[in-house]
Structure 1
């Protein structure tokens, strides 16, 4: 008797794989979906073609003044001719190398920490946290080691936006974690202080915090101490964002099963050892989306420092738009600012998703 021979595996139908399969599955899976997809594609194409025509095809890119804009499309000459001002603000041109060195070093450190399999990550992280801020301060501000001093009122543009965002994130994170732990503490005084702190700072808008930090903070320190305007803004932003970080961290701590706390107690670990070695590593994985969402909000809120006379990239572009030589190019200016903010915010979002996938240990459902 002949043995049954199974037929060889057949390839999937071409209509269910590749681009055709994706279209059938996602856009044209039924009559209603097909009609909605066709209408949506029509409106998208109708809006996209003129936008591409204005942005790229008919655009003018290079020149020295508005006379170079003759095609009727976007006048990117306004951006390219003032790009240095938008990036460096009022920083002295001959000292741009100090800004470039600072941010290239920061980018190299971040790349070292993010690229897998590179050695000595612990030492690089320690250098980034403890040594790099000192190097960055002396490079940007000067006043020591033979470097010319550049007062913070000359900082501006993209570098000011990045300084405020990076310092705000770096300072708000540890403060927020301590506040979250304090709010869950069993000691009434510490818990009450943390609750009041968090609720007060979350109950006022950031623009009010910046104004109060600029006007009121100097009244509470001795007259011989001078608080720089940028330093006051950084203190206000860090305290404001730490309250939001605290609530995100508290949510992550509450998501950890009680058994983890009991296991730490069974091992005889002290409170801080249990938090550092067992609880926080698990909680921080769950908090990544909320924390990054707060960081993105902080990055966008840096534009509010204009209220106290600091010119971030948005304020610099707005000031340039008032130049009589460049009147009428507000669209190009705001599109450029929106693109800069989107690049950084999208980058943070994508990296947070990378971290979630990397640290995924089965808690997702």
Structure 2
């Protein structure tokens, strides 16, 4: 006769979700108190956003006293918020660009696809995105002055971070170099860029650079803004990478050199993989900061996502619905930032398991 095996009943709620919340009388009381406060604070928002919201109709329908959020406004102005002044009949182009970038981000997110082949694939994707948006590949031509909305926000932040990474890597290694002149130049570059706000860099790109360049070589304002953002981000990213390099014990370098590896092979195979893994949270934090700082492009006449949301509420037919416009734009910003944060946690855990 086999022995009966008695198993503990399954918990309906995992312990990790209730730890610190309802695992004691004091924690339960504090949780209930804060839950009541949150309910009191968010009840008006809930009624405005859902219970009394107007989902269809016109601006006159939304003007009623009992009406809450006018989501009919978002439905009417959605394409403008997402794509700005890009010609409506050609908005399939930026939509296709967003889909392509989303597919590449999904592919690059998995470590099993990480290889050198991703670099030319990304370069090809960004080149095709620019050719498609500008109309060089498919006519008619659309000048960058008409680009706007979510594609500008995504492209500027993505290109800025990708372009800044190799420059930041060189700056971080140069700042730790034993060559005095090289170290001094990197320190001057990093401290100068970190010592000024991004808006000042953008104003320099718009006002000072055109006066310093010949008229026949003048770049478009979007290209000048992109270069300014890239240089600005590279200074911050260089310090993040340098912090990761300093966290690696000196014995790692000495062991690699004793095995006959040169300086660059040691950095490539031993030091940088560990250093970059250690600073993943800081890099993700900087990436989110770049995404949010693209809203400063509005001061130089480039319509990013936040600016197109603001302009949409100035339409005479839908005048004054700024709360809905900013709420929608903020939701998109939060969704992208939250997804990046969760991916960072997943990647850290994945690489930690791989390291062990």
Q: TM-score scaled to structure 1, two decimals?
A: 0.89
Shift of residue 9, structure 1, vs aligned partner? 5.3
State the shift of 1:204 in Å: 0.5
1:142 aligns with 2:135: yes
CA contact (8 A) 2:284 2:341 kept: yes
Q: What RMSD, in angstroms, separates the aligned Cα atoms of the two structures?
A: 2.4
* Structure 1 unaligned regions, length at least 5: 1-5
Instruction: Give matches, 1:44-83, under 5 Å.
Output: 44-63=38-57, 65-69=58-62, 70=64, 72-83=67-78
SS of residue paired to 2:98: helix
1:327 and 2:312 aligned: no
Query: Counterpart in 2 of 1:232?
Result: 224
* Greater Cα shift, 24-33 or 68-77: 24-33
Matches of 1:23 and 1:133, distance apart in 2:
41
Shift of the 80–256 alpha-carbon distance from structure 1 to 2, 3 Å rule, reads: same
The answer on whether the counterparts of 1:68 and 1:77 sit within 8 Å (CA) in structure 2 is no
Q: Which of 32, 39, 43 is matched with 2:37 structurally? A: 43
Q: Report what 1:156 is aligned to.
A: 148
| Residues 1:101 and 2:93 aligned together | no
Q: Secondary structure at the match of 2:56?
A: coil
Correspondences of 1:120-269 after superposition (within 5 Å)? 122=115, 125-143=118-136, 145-269=137-261
Deviation at 1:117, TM superposition (A): 5.7
Aligned: 1:314 with 2:306 = yes
Corresponding residue for residue 8 of structure 2: 12
**Distance in 2 (alpha carbons) for counterparts of 1:22 and 1:348:** 22
Aligned residues: 354
State the distance in 1 between where 2:197 and 2:51 align.
42
Are the aligned partners of 1:113 and 1:124 in contact in 2 as well (CA < 8 Å)? no
- Deviation digits for residues 171-193 of structure 1 (CA, Å, limit 9, x no counterpart): 11111111111100111111000
**Cα distance in 1 between the residues matched to 2:153 and 2:167:** 21
Q: Which moved more, 1:129-138 or 1:159-168?
A: 129-138
Whole-Å Cα distance in 2 between the matches of residues 226 and 248 of structure 1? 33
Deviation of residue 111 (structure 1)? 2.2
2:16 & 2:347 partners in 1: Cα distance? 28
Q: Secondary structure at the match of 2:31?
A: helix
Shift of 1:31: 3.7
Q: Extract unaligned runs of 5+ from structure 2.
A: none
- Residue of structure 2 in register with 1:298 after alignment: 290
Relative to structure 1, the CA distance from residue 97 to residue 124 in structure 2 (aligned partners, 3 Å threshold; closer, same or farther) is farther
- Bigger CA drift: 92-101 or 233-242? 92-101
Whether the aligned pair in 1 keeps the contact of 2:48 and 2:68 (CA below 8 Å) is yes
Q: Bigger radius of gyration, 1 or 2?
A: 1
Partner of 2:351: 359
Equivalence for 1:3: none
1:258, distance to aligned residue in structure 2 (A): 0.8
- Give the whole-Å Cα distance in 2 for the aligned partners of 1:24 and 1:345: 25
Residues 109 and 124, structure 1, Cα contact 8 Å, conserved in 2: no
After TM superposition, give the deviation of residue 353 of structure 1 in Å. Answer: 1.3
Shift of 1:260: 1.0
Does the 8 Å CA contact 2:104/2:122 hold for their aligned counterparts?
A: no
